[in-house]
Amino acid sequence: MTGIEEVAQRAGVSTATVSRALSGNGPVSEATRERVQAAATELGYVVSSNASSLASGRTRNVGVVVPFLSRWYFSSVVEGAEAALLRKGYDLTLYNLSGGAESRRSVFEHFLLRKRVDAVIAVALELADDEVSRLLALHKPIVGIGGPIRGVRTLTLDDQGVARLATEHLIALGHTLIAHVGASTEFDLDFHLASTRRRGFEHAMHDAGLALRDDLYQPADFTINGGYQAGKQLLGRPFDRPTAIFAASDEMAIGCLLAARDLGLSVPHDVSIVGVDDHELADFFGLTTVAQFPQQQGERAVDVLMGELSPDAASESLTTDLPYRLIVRSSTARAHPPGR
């Protein structure tokens, strides 16, 4: 197989000049470029992807960083991003930070700073200023998903609006004794998702003139099992049982559905339940939810990133709002008067 050295010898130039001439990057006279191209054609030389990467400074590889991969939301975002990147001829390198602070430090202080990726997509990670500055100093664009990050193009979901919409749906159905399943402090991580959705719930209740009661709040961990345990606590009481539950994720809402079933309660006759996400199991369980379209989030992040990688990229607003939509299924219904 013909190598770059043979092309350089045939054209009478250095290998560096061959690389610049064939890549179109760097100063090369037109006469030299034509001579190199003629030599390459005669010898049947084809530029390798590695050589092209060296010449252009691009790897055609994007790093995607997630706090967890085992959760449905994160795997769905990654799936959408990967499909979009493949369509555009890019590879994806996944960095899973489930190992905690040490793995995060290794990724942002070492792996992403090497010449392995052209750009970074950070999913539901509230990046620190030093993490951002290191990447931008090496001309690696960043797109964030989940919330605002200073100096970074981000796709942001209005989590207060999401929670308000879910709660207002229950209020519109006549429910007044509404419980909330959120998350404890240890799970209220980047962008404070749990507390933000709790504020949305509280604002909707306050605006409707409904009382907020501490005994109608249960923390969980964004899992089905956590939602099941929280649902048992809320629905297992002998009196003053809530007629509706807003859970801050579909997985916790599904756990509440299972708890109601095990307690002999009928959904939605005895209790209405609504979640957030439109999880792949939501339709199976007939769960009313506020969809946030994670695969589309991944695809949209790639579109934004391609614009950031373009040398002619026009400046745009740093924050782009993500869509969400209430999807009503069989887990919610009008409140029944006591005893009916």
pLDDT of residue 46: 66
Residues 6+ apart with CB under 8 A from 202: 212
pLDDT of residue 55: 45
Q: 159-172 and 193-207 are packed helices; what angle lies between their axes, rounded to 10 degrees?
A: 40
pLDDT of residue 62: 96
Kindly list the distances between the CA atom of residue 11 and the CA atoms of 2, 15, 125, in Å, as whole numbers in the listed order: 14, 10, 51
pLDDT of residue 5: 85
Query: Hey, which CATH number is domain 4-56, 3.40.640.10, 3.40.50.1100, 3.40.50.10490, 1.10.260.40?
Result: 1.10.260.40
Exposure letters 269-280 (e unless 16+ CB within 10 A, then b) = eebbbbbbbbbe
Per DSSP, the residues of 23-91 read: HT-S---HHHHHHHHHHHHHHT----HHHHHHHHS--SEEEEEES-SSSHHHHHHHHHHHHHHHHTT-E
Domain 61-157+294-309, CATH class in plain words: alpha beta
d(CA 266, CA 69): 34
- Which fold, 159-291? Rossmann fold (3.40.50)
Going residue by residue through the chain, which has 340 residues, state the pLDDT in tens, using 9 for 90 and above: 677 888 888 899 888 888 777 765 567 788 888 898 888 888 877 665 444 444 445 778 999 999 988 889 999 999 999 999 999 889 999 999 987 888 898 898 888 887 689 999 999 999 999 999 989 888 899 999 999 999 999 999 999 999 999 999 999 999 999 999 999 887 887 889 999 999 999 999 999 999 999 999 999 999 999 999 999 999 999 889 999 999 999 999 999 999 999 999 999 999 999 999 999 999 999 999 999 999 999 999 999 999 888 766 665 678 999 999 999 999 999 998 655 5
Q: What is the pTM of this model?
A: 0.81
pLDDT of residue 24: 55
Where are the chain's structural domains?
Answer: 4-56, 61-157+294-309, 159-291
61-157+294-309 and 159-291 share one fold: yes
d(CA 240, CA 273): 17
Nearest to 156 by CA among 326, 336, 324: 324
